[in-house]
Structure 1
Amino acid sequence: MNFDHSHKRARDAAEQAASLPDWDQRYEQLSAGRFEGEVDELRVGPVQVFVERANQTVMQAGRVRANRISVALVRTGRSPGWFGGHRLQGEQIIGVSSQGEFDLVASADTQILALSVDQAALRELVAQMDGPEGELPPVPLLLNVSRAACAEYGRLLNAALGLARGPADICAHPASRRMLVLSLCEALLGGLRSGKPVGALPASAASRRRIVARARQYMQAHAQEVIAVPDLCQAIGTSRRALQYAFEEVMQISPVTYLRAMRLNQVRSELRQNRAAPVGDVAARWGFWHPSRFASDYKALFGELPSATRSAAASRQPQAA
């Protein structure tokens, strides 16, 4: 049974997303400033434990890969976050699986402490405990869990990561690794069974989330085209006021600000991957026709000029600590 530990630092939101290969997800930096993030990850057998932090607000969207279930303890920073349209404040438990996509707005300094387990291993454990008729509990988006349960879950995951940082011989024996995996699997199942799924969103909140989802889908599909707010309202069938309110509630920013941030994140990703194309050409492809204004907007969001991103691209790989 494998036992692998890594600690990666990132200077870019997309780079941080890529440091978790078990997850098919996209990160977009929304708040202004230089990005600093880190991921501390442990893999043992069918289990993955990681803690993730970033100093900027990040839009995360995607799913966990390969028939896995993940339950995470989210500790928000000074500002609230949003998960599936639900407001996140303080400590809360969220659950996701490979069968459904999630969307999370993680405010600056949010800590995500997550446990991900292969479903086959969970089914085997359920069959051992509950018999062949036992079933995996459903995976809700957001769970109502007591503070004590949140604290206990966090302590267990931090203890597992602490083991990985300790002397190499602590988990050298197969029996120790198996007991660690068993403890973590039981904790994930216990979390799903003890918590109560948060009820459906109120009609107004659900409507605003749908507006944001449709708007983001349209923006991403037409990111290289000129999109004005009236065009966006017409395309998704909503009013300017409803669009504004929806983005301010769900994303904490205006639709215009989000559209610009989305395009700037696309430019940044391309500058980091394609070091041959001129910066001006890349910017123009994503709708930035005014060079000086583009450079100013880019620096305001990422804390550096696009030329600095280009020149440092070779050294922007995740750094193993």
Structure 2
Amino acid sequence: MSSGSAQRVTARGGDLGEFSTAVGDAYFPHRLDVRGRPEVGADLRAVDLGPVRLARIGWGSEVSVTSDHPGAWAVNVPRSGVLEAQVSGAHVLSLDGQATVCPPDEPTRMIRWSADCAIVGMRIDRSYLADDVTALVGLAADSMPRQLDLRSAEGQAWWGLLATLGSEALRNPDLVANPTVARRMAATLTAALVTACFPDEPGCGEARPRIVSRVYDAMEADPSRDWTAAEMAREAGVGIRRLQQGFRRYAGTTPTHALQEIRLARVHDDLLAGATDTVADAAYRWGFTHLGRFAAAYRAAYGVPPSATLRGAGRS
């Protein structure tokens, strides 16, 4: 199946060989075992969004399906019937309102895929999902749960997007033929999935992803510390490059510049309060080691030299 495309395949009768091949091409290669007589026709609808593929699959017969899911995650939502699986050695039974999450490059066996079970599936390239999980929640992708509850607010949000965007793409194949549109849809769905799998703690109100918030919190707690890029990355639990990407994407700045802003604010507060005898004492206290660069950064941030702020505090 080519990127930026949509297709539909149907099959009648008990011979599912060609249909199984189509499912393998559109979603995942697998081994199929037909366990019951056909009840309805098999039906496949699939959309390729580049790093993400969407599929609606109904076999029309009770089957078992085994796949290693090479190179990609699978998130399968049964819209009816029963989807019973062995995933990484764990037993997962999913009904309507739940999703089975299958990791890449590990054997997963759908022990029972009932004849009345049609799934909506989302396939996400391994590296693509790993990037979003790390950027959004600061964890490794192998922390993904093996089952997702779609009754939570985050689960409902992801499922609503999946149903809406998938239906729109099938109705309008020209839409996903545009690579920019296809990748935007893929990014939206993946971010919503990660949020559903790793919901924030109630009441945390966190606007930034956790890898960014962790570093901000650590720098706020100890701005005078001689922070290095490696130490910042260690606080976030990611590599330096991933940390920089997270700050650019979600905070519109760099970790180093964010630290400078925190330090400048602390110096500014001290100068306003008259809590220091000299500008240099305040600058050194909060981690600045080069007074010339500090003074230039202060003027750029507050529109006056730091000495003017201190003098103003002395007159008040």
TM-score (normalised: structure 1): 0.52
Measured at CA, do residues 134 and 32 of structure 1 come closer, stay the same or move farther in structure 2, by a change above 3 Å?
closer
Measured at CA, do residues 59 and 192 of structure 1 come closer, stay the same or move farther in structure 2, by a change above 3 Å?
same
Query: How many positions carry a matched residue from both structures?
Result: 190
Task: State how 1:48-197 maps to structure 2 within 5 Å.
Answer: 48-65=53-70, 67-77=71-81, 80-84=82-86, 85-104=91-110, 105-129=112-136, 134-146=139-151, 149-171=154-176, 173-194=178-199
CA distance in 1, matches of 2:176, 2:93: 39
- The Cα of 1:125 is off from its aligned counterpart by 3.0
CA distance in 1, matches of 2:57, 2:140: 30
Question: Mind listing any 5+ residue stretches in structure 2 that lack a counterpart?
Answer: 201-316
CA distance in 2, matches of 1:164, 1:112: 17
**C-alpha RMSD over aligned residues:** 2.8
Q: Which amino acid aligns with 1:136?
A: A
What is the aligned partner in structure 1 of residue 20 from structure 2?
Answer: 17
Deviation above 6 Å: which 4+ runs of structure 1? none
Q: Deviations over 1:4-27 (max 9, x none)?
A: 111111243343332122523112
What is the aligned partner in structure 2 of residue 233 from structure 1?
Answer: none
Measured at CA, do residues 181 and 89 of structure 1 come closer, stay the same or move farther in structure 2, by a change above 3 Å?
closer
- The Cα of 1:127 is off from its aligned counterpart by 4.8
Measured at CA, do residues 52 and 106 of structure 1 come closer, stay the same or move farther in structure 2, by a change above 3 Å?
same
What is the aligned partner in structure 1 of residue 6 from structure 2?
Answer: 5
More relative contact order in 1 or in 2 (CA 8 Å, sep 6+)?
1
**Given that residues 42 and 48 in structure 1 are in contact (C-alpha distance below 8 angstroms), is that contact kept between their aligned partners in structure 2?**
yes
**Given that residues 122 and 185 in structure 1 are in contact (C-alpha distance below 8 angstroms), is that contact kept between their aligned partners in structure 2?**
yes
**Given that residues 71 and 94 in structure 1 are in contact (C-alpha distance below 8 angstroms), is that contact kept between their aligned partners in structure 2?**
yes
**Given that residues 13 and 58 in structure 1 are in contact (C-alpha distance below 8 angstroms), is that contact kept between their aligned partners in structure 2?**
no
- The Cα of 1:45 is off from its aligned counterpart by 1.4
CA distance in 2, matches of 1:172, 1:90: 31
Measured at CA, do residues 13 and 187 of structure 1 come closer, stay the same or move farther in structure 2, by a change above 3 Å?
farther
- The Cα of 1:157 is off from its aligned counterpart by 1.9
**Given that residues 139 and 192 in structure 1 are in contact (C-alpha distance below 8 angstroms), is that contact kept between their aligned partners in structure 2?**
yes
Q: Which amino acid aligns with 2:84?
A: W
Task: State how 1:194-209 maps to structure 2 within 5 Å.
Answer: 194=199
Q: Deviations over 1:79-136 (max 9, x none)?
A: x442224444333211012232112211112121111111222233345445xx6522
**Given that residues 73 and 102 in structure 2 are in contact (C-alpha distance below 8 angstroms), is that contact kept between their aligned partners in structure 1?**
yes
Task: State how 1:195-234 maps to structure 2 within 5 Å.
Answer: none
- The Cα of 1:171 is off from its aligned counterpart by 4.2
TM-score (normalised: structure 2): 0.52
CA distance in 1, matches of 2:149, 2:172: 37
Bigger-Rg structure (1/2):
2
**Given that residues 46 and 117 in structure 1 are in contact (C-alpha distance below 8 angstroms), is that contact kept between their aligned partners in structure 2?**
yes
Q: Which amino acid aligns with 1:23?
A: F
Q: Deviations over 1:205-231 (max 9, x none)?
A: xxxxxxxxxxxxxxxxxxxxxxxxxxx
Measured at CA, do residues 26 and 51 of structure 1 come closer, stay the same or move farther in structure 2, by a change above 3 Å?
same
Q: 2:42 aligns with which of 16, 37, 41?
A: 37
